[in-house]
Chains A and B, each alone.
Chain A
Amino acid sequence: MGDNDFREARAKNAEKLLDVRNLEIQFKTKNGYISAVEGLNFSVHRSELLAMVGESGCGKSVTSLAVMGLIEHPGRVRADRMELAGVDMTRSSPEEIRRLRGAQMSMIFQDPLTSLNPLFTAGHQISEQFLTHVPGCGRGEAKRRSIEMIRKTGIPRPEAVYDSYPHELSGGMRQRIMIAIAMCCNPVLLIADEPTTALDVTIQAQILHLMRELVVEYETSILFITHDLGVVAEMADRVVVMYAGQIVEEADVLTLFHKPAHPYTKGLLHSTIKVQDAGSRLEPIPGAVPSLRQLPSGCRFHPRCAYADDECRRRRPELVEVGLNHYSRCLLFPRRENVA
C-alpha cells in the first residue's frame, strides 16, 4: 500500500507539463464532419510516462498528431486549451508550433524501417536536428554531438553507424537512431506511437529499457501510445484508456490493473494471456470498434458490453471520479462497486 500512497501523492502534486482540455478532432467526409475524438481531457505530468491504450481506430494516433499540431486538411482540431510547458498551443501560430516540434516535443513512430529517409546517412539525419534547432551550431559540432547521441542510445561503434544508411541498419538500430533524433534537443515531451510494435520481443525490451533510462536522464515526459498492456504494466505511471474517440478510464497503473472500473478495461485485461492462468480460456471482447459515422446510442461501448442494460442504451455516461485520480465513464459503476 505504501507504494500506492506514494504514487497517489505524486500524481496529486505533479506539475502538468501537457494539459489538454476539451480536444475535438474532426475529419471532413462526404456527409459532413465526423468526430474522431471529442471532449478529450488529459494531462501528462513532468517526468511521467502516460500510456494511452485502446484498440485500433479509437483515436490514439490522431490525438498524438493533434498535440504535435500536425492534423491537416481534411481534418480540423478544436480545443479549449492545449498547453505545453506553459505555452498554450491553441493560441500559437503554425510557425511557433513548428519551432516547438523537435525542440520541446518530438515523436517516434511505430515502424523504424520507414521513419528514416533512405537517401541520407543516419548521422546526417541526426546532425540535421542540431543544425535546425541549435543556433550557431556548426557541422563539426553537430557531428560530434550526433555521435554522442548515438553512443547514448547504446549502439556500439557509433562512428561507423554515423556513416551508415538506414538500409544497412537493423530494425532495433533504426529505432535507436529515431530515439536519438527525437532526443537531440532534449525535448520536455516525447510522444511514442507504438514504438516497439514492429520489433522483436528481445529488441522491444531493450528499446523500452532505453526509453526509461532517457526519461530518468533527461527528465522527459513520455506520452506512450500502445495497445500492448504488457508494455503498459512495465513502463507506465498512469494510463488513459480510450474507446471510440473518448476516454473511458483513467487511473494510475496499479489501480488500473488491480481495480479496473470500466468493462472495456476489464475486457482488455482479460484479452491478455497470463502465465498463471494457463489452461483457462481467453475472454476476447466480442465485436469491433464502432464506426465513427454510426456511433451507438447511449454508452458507446454498450453493444459489446456484457453488463449493459437498458439505461446504457439510452443515457450517455460521463467521465466520473470513482477513486482518487481514478476516472471511469460507466453508468454501472456507481451502482455496482465491482462490475466483474
Chain B
Amino acid sequence: MNMEEKKAIQTVKRERSVVYDIPCLLIRSPSGMLGFIIVAAAVFVALFADVLVPYSPDAINLVAMTRPPAWSNGGSSANLLGTDVLGRDILARILVGSRISLLVGVFSVAAAGFIGTIFGIVAGYYGSWVETVIMRVTDAFHAIPLTLFGMVVLAVVGPGMITMIVVIGITTWPFYARMIRSEVLSLKNQEYVKAARTLGTSSVMTMLRHILPNVMPSFIVVSTLSVANSILAEATLSFLGLGIQPPLVTWGIMLADGRNYIATSWWISTFPGIALSTTVLGIMLLGNWLRDVLDPRNQGLG
C-alpha cells in the first residue's frame, strides 16, 4: 500500500465513525479476518443447524454403527465425518451441538465478566475497607471448585442450560474481579484519572469514562480465552452426566461419548474436538484484533 492510499484511509477514518472502518480494518489484518470468518461460520452454523443437517442428530442407525469418515476405508459419502456407536451422524451432531456449546461459552463468560468487572472496578477504585470486603468475598468464591459446586447445584436444582451458565458464572467471576482490580490499581494512579478528579468528575463518571474503557483491552483478551474454558467446563459437567442431558447434544457430550472408543473409532471424539478448538481459536483471534482496533493508539498500525 503506498503512502497516498494510507493517507486516504486515515482521512476516511477521521471523517467516519469506527463502525464504518471495521471491514476496512479487517481486510488489513489477516489473523483478525480469519478469526472473524471462523466465528461468523460458527454463529451461522448454530443459527441454521436445522436447515444444514441432512439427518436428525438423534437418528439412530444401527446398520451404520461406528462408520469411519467418508474418505477412509469403509466410509460412506452418506456420513461425511462418520457415525458414532449408535450410528448417529457426527457432522449433524457437531452442527447442532455448536448451539449449546456457544451459548454456554459466551453467556457464562458474559455473566462472570459483568459481575467480576463491576466488583473489580469498585474494589480497585475505592480501596480501603470496600476493597477488603469485596476481595475477601472474591477469595471465598474463588475457593469453590467448579466441578464440585456444579455437581451439588445441578444435582439439587436439576440439570439445565441456564443453571449451567449460572454455575460457571458464579465460579469464574472472581478471576475477572481480581484481574480488573489489579488493572484499576495502576490505572487510578494515572495522571488522567487524577486530572479527571481535579476537574470535578464524579466517582461514578470517573469509573465509567476513564477506568472502564481502559480495562477493556485486557478484559477482551482474557474473556475470549475464557470462552474456551467455559465450553470445556460445560463439557466436563456434561461428561459427568450433570450438565446438558441427552438427547440434547453438545460438543462436550460428544467428546465424552467417544472417549471409550478413541483407540478404535478416533473420529467420534476427534471431530468435535477439532470443532471446539477451531471455534476457540477463532474467538481468540477476533478478541486480539478487537483489542487492537479499540485502542486508538494503534490506529494506522493495525
Chain B's closest residue to A116 (CB) is: B192
Contact of A102 among B127, B201, B296 (CB under 8 A): B201
Which listed segment binds A: B74-82, B134-142, B209-217?
Answer: B209-217
Kindly list chain B residues whose C-beta atoms are within 8 Å of the C-beta of A133: 200
Q: Are A70 and B195 in contact (CB under 8 A)?
A: no
Interface residues of B in 193-212 (CB under 8 A from A): 194-202, 205, 209-210
Say how far B294's CB is from chain A's closest CB, in angstroms.
8
> How long is the Cα–Cα vector from A72 to B128 in the complex, in angstroms?
10
Q: Are A118 and B200 in contact (CB under 8 A)?
A: no
Q: Are B191 and A101 in contact (CB under 8 A)?
A: no
Total count of chain A residues near the partner, CB < 8 A: 34
Interface residues of B in 164-216 (CB under 8 A from A): 190-192, 194-202, 205, 209-210, 213-214
Q: Are B200 and A165 in contact (CB under 8 A)?
A: no
Q: Are B198 and A70 in contact (CB under 8 A)?
A: yes
Say how far B219's CB is from chain A's closest CB, in angstroms.
14
Say how far B162's CB is from chain A's closest CB, in angstroms.
35
> How long is the Cα–Cα vector from A100 to B192 in the complex, in angstroms?
19
Say how far A146's CB is from chain B's closest CB, in angstroms.
14
Main SS at interface, chain B: helix
Chain B's closest residue to A94 (CB) is: B203
Say how far B152's CB is from chain A's closest CB, in angstroms.
39
Say how far B103's CB is from chain A's closest CB, in angstroms.
31
**Of listed A107, A109, A115, A165, residue having the most chain B CB within 10 A:** A115
For A117-132 the 0/1 string (1 means CB < 8 A from B) is 1111000000011001
Kindly list chain A residues whose C-beta atoms are within 8 Å of the C-beta of B195: 107-109, 115-116, 178, 181
A316 interface residue (CB < 8 Å to B): no
A114 interface residue (CB < 8 Å to B): yes
For A174-218 the 0/1 string (1 means CB < 8 A from B) is 000010011000000001000000000000000000000000000
B295 interface residue (CB < 8 Å to A): yes
> How long is the Cα–Cα vector from A99 to B191 in the complex, in angstroms?
20
Kindly list chain A residues whose C-beta atoms are within 8 Å of the C-beta of B200: 98-103, 106, 132-133
Q: Are B199 and A109 in contact (CB under 8 A)?
A: no
Total count of chain B residues near the partner, CB < 8 A: 24
Q: Are A68 and B198 in contact (CB under 8 A)?
A: yes
Say how far A166's CB is from chain B's closest CB, in angstroms.
8
A163 interface residue (CB < 8 Å to B): yes
A167 interface residue (CB < 8 Å to B): yes
Contact of B199 among A110, A114, A119, A129 (CB under 8 A): A129
Q: Are A118 and B296 in contact (CB under 8 A)?
A: yes
Kindly list chain A residues whose C-beta atoms are within 8 Å of the C-beta of B205: 132
A157 interface residue (CB < 8 Å to B): no
Q: 14 other contacts beyond A73-B127, A132-B199, A132-B201, with CB at 8 A cut-off?
A: A70-B197, A73-B128, A98-B202, A103-B200, A107-B199, A109-B195, A114-B190, A117-B196, A117-B214, A119-B295, A119-B296, A128-B201, A165-B297, A191-B198
Residues of chain B at the chain A interface (Cβ within 8 Å): 14, 127-128, 190-192, 194-202, 205, 209-210, 213-214, 295-297, 299
Q: Could you list 12 examples of A-B contacts with CB < 8 Å?
A: A106-B198, A107-B195, A107-B199, A109-B191, A109-B195, A110-B191, A114-B192, A115-B192, A119-B214, A132-B199, A167-B296, A178-B195
10 interchain residue pairs of minimum CB distance: A102-B200, A101-B200, A107-B198, A102-B199, A115-B191, A114-B191, A73-B128, A117-B192, A115-B195, A165-B296
